[in-house]
């Protein structure tokens, strides 16, 4: 189940731009950005 969260319009706009620049749909872009962010957070936690 996906969470029902409020996302700032500026962030949504950046992800929409990212999706368009990388020829992907919005769901793919959100998933990729969230995964990259989680990977970064996990890497910082291990240091």
- Reported as a single tens digit per residue, the pLDDT across 1-47 is 567 889 999 999 999 999 999 999 999 999 999 999 999 998 877 76
Give me the pLDDT at residue 1, please.
59
Give me the pLDDT at residue 43, please.
84
Instruction: Count the alpha carbons within 13 Å of 29 in the hemisphere toward its beta carbon.
Output: 16
d(CA 2, CA 46): 27
Give me the pLDDT at residue 38, please.
95
Torsion sign across C-alpha atoms 27, 29, 32, 36 = negative
Give me the pLDDT at residue 39, please.
94
pTM: 0.78
């Amino acid at each position: 189940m996906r969470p029902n969260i409020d996302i700032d319009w500026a962030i949504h706009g950046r992800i929409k731009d990212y999706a368009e620049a990388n020829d992907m749909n919005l769901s793919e872009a959100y998933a990729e950005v969230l995964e990259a962010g989680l990977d970064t957070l996990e890497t910082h936690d291990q240091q």
